[in-house]
Amino acid sequence: LQRGEKLDPKNVDHPLTGGWVGFRDCHVKPDLVLIYRIFDGQLQLARIGSHSDLF
């Protein structure tokens, strides 16, 4: 992510909606989700946890 490279499709990287507009999430492991965004060229990590913990 830091280098701007695309993630493998297995990571299910996608944009978020609602209160998380501007952020993306990707699956680090099957039930470990990372919420992040690229802002002003900087990677910002917002939250990490299981899907049920985050949503």
- Catalytic member of 51, 52, 54, 55: 51
Distance CA 34, CA 11 (A): 10
27 is catalytic: no
Distance CA 7, CA 19 (A): 24
State the DSSP H helix or E strand holding residue 44, giving kind and residue range, or none if neither: strand 42-49
Catalytic residues: 51
